Amino acid sequence: MEALKQKIREQGLVLSDQVLKVDAFLNHQIDPRLMQQIGHEFAERFAGLGITKIVTIEASGIAPAVMAGLELGVPVIFARKYQSLTLKDNLYISSVFSFTKQTESTLAISAKHLGADDHVLMIDDFLANGHAARALIDLIGQSGASIAGIGVVIEKSFQRGRAELDAQGYRVESLARIASLDDGQVRFLD
Ligand code: G4P
Ligand code: NA
Ligand code: NA
């Protein structure tokens, strides 16, 4: 998606050869027009698949997921993050380890909002090592829902998440694919 790549070139900050900071339009300040275009692009790529729900993770997945939900005309669920959980009634739960933050957290979705009749589009802001995606797949699996595909705003293709999801047979659509962040430069895959 050219508008997104352009934004990354203009406003992305390469923090290291592993981390791209996009606080100017995605992770802190949000560019609503760009998010709208992102939602439109996801809706086009996943049109006609019978998607009934979008599932993402708080916080940064919510903006692109809501825009896609608006375009596809389906509700958006965000998995909530907890440090620990005492009350687990009627919740699907899974734990996820964040490499960037070096913390483990628990993700939860209420059983009220997702069930075996649902066909889900997963959306997230970043795909790196795929830990968050794996936890979401686990949660959705607990509900009995099926997965239509996975939409990613920014994929770091040099980390293992994309290859693993491909190997598992998921349809992954990433709007910007980054081949490397070496020497302070963003290099896109195509
Ligand atoms: P993984 O889920 O793909 O394995 O990635 P990892 O554990 O490394 O990611 C943990 C958090 O960092 C996630 O956000 C993920 O979206 C984000 N992340 C991963 N790589 C980058 C990067 O290069 N740049 C930025 N800006 N974020 C990255 P989160 O903890 O869920 O945070 P939130 O922003 O949604 O609150
Ligand atoms: Na994030
Ligand atoms: Na995220």
Q: What ipTM describes this predicted complex?
A: 0.91
User: Does 141 carry a binding-site annotation?
Assistant: no
User: Does 131 carry a binding-site annotation?
Assistant: yes
pLDDT in tens, the chain (190 residues): 999 999 999 999 999 999 999 999 999 999 999 999 999 999 999 999 999 999 999 999 999 999 999 999 999 999 999 877 777 789 999 999 887 788 888 999 999 999 999 999 999 999 999 999 999 999 999 999 999 999 999 999 999 999 999 999 999 999 999 999 999 999 999 7
Q: What is the CATH number of the domain that holds 18?
A: 3.40.50.2020
User: Does 129 carry a binding-site annotation?
Assistant: yes
Ligand that lies nearest to the alpha carbon of residue 100, given by its number in the listed order: 1
* Structural domain count of the chain: 1
Model pLDDT, residue 186: 98
Model pLDDT, residue 41: 98
Cβ-proximal residues to 17 (8 Å cutoff; 6+ apart), any chain: 180, 181, 182, 183
Kindly report the pTM of this predicted structure.
0.96
Containing structural domain, residue 9: 2-188
Ligand that lies nearest to the alpha carbon of residue 102, given by its number in the listed order: 1
Among protein residues, the one whose CA lies closest to atom 30 of ligand 1: 98
First to last CA, the chain: 11
Q: What share of the chain is helix, strand, coil (3-state, %, to 5)?
A: 30, 35, 35
Ligand 1 neighbours, Cβ below 6 Å, are: 19-22, 27, 57, 59-61, 98-101, 125-132, 156, 161
Which H or E run contains 186? none
